[in-house]
Amino acid sequence: MERNPGVGFLDIQKETGYANGVLSHHLKILERDDFIRIRREKRKIWVFPLHLNPDEDNIRIHIRKETCKKIIEFLLDEKKSSFIQIRKTIGKSPSTTSITLKMLIQNDIVRKIPGFTHEYALKDHDKTAHIMEMIRMSRTDLLKDRFADTFSYL
Of the chain, the percentage scoring pLDDT greater than 70 comes to 86
Q: Which residues contact 124 (CB under 8 A, 6 or more apart)?
A: none
The domain spans of the chain are 1-51, 53-154
The whole-angstrom separation of Cα 119 and Cα 94 is: 15
Average confidence score pLDDT of the chain: 87
The whole-angstrom separation of Cα 144 and Cα 22 is: 31
What is the predicted pLDDT for the residue at 6? 85
Query: Among residues 54, 136, 69, which one has the least CA distance to residue 104?
Result: 69
Q: Would 1-51 and 53-154 be classified into the same CATH topology?
A: yes
What is the predicted pLDDT for the residue at 137? 58
Q: Is the pLDDT of residue 2 over 80?
A: no
Q: Is the pLDDT of residue 79 over 80?
A: yes
Q: Is 71 exposed, middle or buried (0-12, 13-18, 19+ CB in 10 A)?
A: buried
The whole-angstrom separation of Cα 74 and Cα 63 is: 12
Mean pLDDT across 94-120? 95
Mean pLDDT across 28-33? 94
Write out the CATH class of domain 53-154.
mainly alpha
Q: Is the pLDDT of residue 149 over 50?
A: no
Write out the CATH class of domain 1-51.
mainly alpha
| DSSP H or E segment with residue 79 | none
Q: Each residue of 37-76: pLDDT tens digit?
A: 999 988 899 999 999 999 999 999 999 889 999 999 999 9
Query: Among residues 80, 8, 76, which one has the least CA distance to residue 45?
Result: 8
